[in-house]
Structure 1
Amino acid sequence: MEKTRWKHIQTVREQSPLVHNITNYVVMNNTANALLAIGASPVMAHAKAEVKDMTTIADVLLINIGTLDEYWSDAMLIAAETAHVLDKPWVLDPVGAGATPYRNQILQKLLEYSPTVIRGNASEILAIVKSNASATKGVDSTASSMDAVQAARHLVNQYGSVVCISGETDIIVDQKNQTFLVKNGHPMMTKVTGLGCTASALTAAFVAVMEDKTEATVTAMALLGIAGERSEKESHGPGSLQMNIIDKLYVMTEMEFVEQLNVSRA
């Protein structure tokens, strides 16, 4: 299975999927660089006049609600509807779910278009389904990944999405009642703004080229986690870690990936 997942990474490099990102101001540059590093082609477009056309020509859509406003919300809804009508894969990153009523309202509208993958931290997944009184602290998780598994199952059943709960252990659940645990990564990664957003973008790239969307999500999360683990060894803090992760995504070898991959079934 390790070698099969490495082949998925090679597929992304070979096919260079076009990833249409409607994401937030904080992470645009890092997201684009991470996608380029793994071989994908990023485009950042949120103008309402073109998002329908851009979604149509792209291989996959990523919607990240980190820096919402009324204009971007409209653009996101147009893009999500277009992807849904065209049966094109799309990934939803519900950044800060539960923080404000407006954010929750937009999320509920986006969910009507059945995202292929939903990737968020435990608090965000819990907040989407209102299954727990746990508060969302900004965009950081105040709950553990395991706390959100039941909520993730609810989302899987309601929308047919693959759901990824990111955390110390990333948990991926799907309609086949499969649960995967990805135990790659390093605690210092939590000190780098937007690595969760990077995870969602990488997931979108893999979803674009793989039929098995669960495996796509598992592979993307493992790749970023391994890049973080290996990069930490040569980093002096979060700033150099961020830079080194981009480099490691670009130069990752099969041996490095296979040796460090830590994925299991629950």
Structure 2
Amino acid sequence: MMPHLLLIPLIVAAFAVFAESRPASAQAETPVSQCQMIARSLPSVTFASFSAEPALKVQAKANEEVKITYIGHSTFFLETPAGVKIATDYNGWYKPPALPTVVTMNKAHSSHYTTNPEPGIEYVLHGWQDGSPKGADHDVVVGDTYIRNVPTDIRNWGGSMEANGNSIFIFEVAGLCIGHLGHLHHELTEKQYAEIGRLDVLMVPVDGGLTMGAESMSRVVQRLRSSLILPMHRRGPPISQFLSMFGTGFDAVTDDDATMTVSIRSLPKRPTIHILSGV
């Protein structure tokens, strides 16, 4: 047996003791990241799935599926097993098939946010902190989904960098860690990689320069080692330019459908760039 696999029972036990030692109120109110905790404990190991209830508070079954639809630009529409509906980088132009429960936004360009979200959206999560250089800090549990963010910097219209103007949003649901890079303008720091943790599904801009060049973006993708990579935000260069940055360790699939379902069991065994219809 590999040495790092022998550590798993010890980690589970340690997390269980930690959970039992906290007050009952803390256990009930404080969300715990299954993705981030594993990354912190075993930084050199990538897991396809992990569950250690109740310590990690994972609401997941192996057969639970998340439905993902590419709507346009940087907007994906996620539908969870419990019926939570999430639209990423929501701008009001690209309409999901149903009213979202949650929308996330980033402010690099107006195509990634709106100041007039539709009435009835319960949670509007900005990827920036209004009127402050401090980064946004979201820790929200909605139904079966835990939503958090990792701030990154953006280029402003003058060309200089603005601290914490973007967020990578992470959705933890059905045992999956789903990450949306937003309008990422720089390669990530070690601290940001640690804060992100494990990502099974990665939504990545492939414009080739409006966010980052294909080579820089490919380094981020390879470092995150996600099982499923979903391109978005393609402007100008053909997607083949992005695909050319990856070697034989990655597969590529072109889909005629804009919608797919994903679960822990259905994650590809090899890292796969899955190009949904419309990209």
TM-score by length of 2: 0.36
Which one has more relative contact order, counting CA pairs under 8 Å at least 6 apart? 1
TM-score by length of 1: 0.37
Higher strand share: 2
Which structure shows the higher helix fraction? 1
Whichever of the two has the greater Rg, that structure is 2
